[in-house]
Each structure stands twice: as C-alpha cells, then as structure tokens.
Structure 1
Amino acid sequence: MKPQDTIQFDEKGLVPVITQDYSSNEILMMAWMNKEALELSIKTKKAVYFSRSRKKLWFKGEESGNYQDIIEIFTDCDQDVVLLKVNQKGGIACHTGRAKCFFNKLDDNKWKIISNVIKDPKDIYG
C-alpha cells in the first residue's frame, strides 16, 4: 500500500495541508491536495497542491520561482490533515509577496497586518 492510500480525503477528494518552515517551524500557509498532488509531492519532494479556484494542480513556485522543497511529511492521528515541513525558496510563501500567509493578527478586536511585503506581487507574477 502506498502512503497516499491511507489518507482520508474528503467528499471532494481533497485533504487540507499545513505547510511549515523546516528551520523556524513557522506556519507558512494552508492549502489543499488531491491524491495526484500528494503523489507528485511525495515523488518529487516539491510541494504540489490542488487549486480549488482553478480546479487544477498547482506546482508551488511554477510562476513565482518560490518553490517549496519538502524535507518531511506528516499526517495527523486521523490521517485527514497533512503537514509539510519545507525549505521555502526565495523566502516568500504567500501570493501577496509576504513570507507567510498568516499575517493578519487579531489585536484589540481589530485585524492588524504584522508582516511586510518582501516583493510586490506585480513584480512576481507580472
């Protein structure tokens, strides 16, 4: 049995994926994988997700150059969530040009942006 065969995909064939920086342990992003994305990620050791909005595989870094090299892969006790520990190339995981997607912090009942843009998304994606 292949490792991906034990994962509990939801009714749409997807599993949530939390991506964490291997060195700092910071949570970089959350995305989704289907079985094919997980198989490719295991095989290539590069993060491949499934874009729900575009309904296709999303090879992280294919447009931005900010690839994620997978160091370790974990699953939770129910095998319905995947955790990737990665080396984030270029230091940018978020499409907003920030290091991570979790940059809005609730502070005094208001959302506060706590992370600066490293590179303007227009310069990344055109």
Structure 2
Amino acid sequence: MPAVTYNADGLVPAIAQDAETREVLMMAWMNEEALRRTLATGKATYWSRSRQEFWVKGETSGHHQAVEGVAVDCDGDTILLTVRQTGAACHTGNRTCFFTALTPEDAL
C-alpha cells in the first residue's frame, strides 16, 4: 500500500461511500491526525478547513458514519472510507452531497 500523500496544507481528500449501496455520499478533508482518529475509533473524523478543527461526522447532527473500511488510491493521494451512514451525509439534509447534475454548459 502506498503511503498517504498529503497536499501542501497537510490534507488529503476523503471520499465516503455507503458500504451497502456503494453510493458516493460526500467528500471532506483529513489530515494525518484525522485519519489516525478514524482508524482508531471507527468513526469518520475530518478536518474542518473553515473552523480549523476536527469534526466527527454526526457529532452535532446525529448523522453518523460508522467506518467499515479505509483504503488509499494507487497514488496515495485520496482516501476512500466505506461507511454505514445514519441519516443524511450532506449538510443540506440530502442523503448524498452529489445531487446536482452538471450539463456541458455548466462546466464551461
């Protein structure tokens, strides 16, 4: 397994995927300590860039992510969490953060 490669800010993107449906739920950021906490506790723990603090998914919303697996991609620069999601993954209340389709015109 490749070592995790963190960006210049010491962060790596982490994708959360539903363990049962394989639906992609969300993307957030982790630093080395967030990844260590996630692996140690089995609770998805991320780094909030805006608040400059750790957050355990569901700590305030009740929408927890129980981590069943953690993998790193072939380049070591993206983490994939396989989770059991309780409630919505997105802060908007949607099950997933990926609910807005883009058209070719949107991407220009």
Q: TM-score, normalised by structure 2?
A: 0.92
Q: What is the CA distance between 1:99 and its match in structure 2?
A: 0.1
- How many angstroms apart in 2 are the aligned matches of 1:34 and 1:71? 19
Q: TM-score, normalised by structure 1?
A: 0.79
Q: What is the CA distance between 1:58 and its match in structure 2?
A: 1.1
Q: What is the CA distance between 1:109 and its match in structure 2?
A: 4.0
Q: Structure 1 regions of 5+ residues with no counterpart?
A: 111-126
Tell me the equivalent position of 2:17: 20
- How many angstroms apart in 1 are the aligned matches of 2:20 and 2:30? 23
Compare relative contact order (CA 8 Å, sep 6+) and give the higher one, 1 or 2: 2
Tell me the equivalent position of 1:7: 4
Q: Whose Rg is larger? A: 1
Write the deviation string for residues 56-80 of structure 1: whole angstroms up to 9, x where unpaired. Answer: 1011101101110001111011111
Q: What is the CA distance between 1:6 and its match in structure 2?
A: 2.3
Q: Structure 2 regions of 5+ residues with no counterpart?
A: none
- Number of equivalent positions: 106
- How many angstroms apart in 2 are the aligned matches of 1:80 and 1:89? 27
* Stretches (4+) displaced over 3 A: 107-110
The answer on 1:101 being equivalent to 2:97 is yes
- How many angstroms apart in 1 are the aligned matches of 2:28 and 2:6? 13
* Partner SS state of residue 6, structure 1: coil
State the Cα RMSD in Å. 1.7
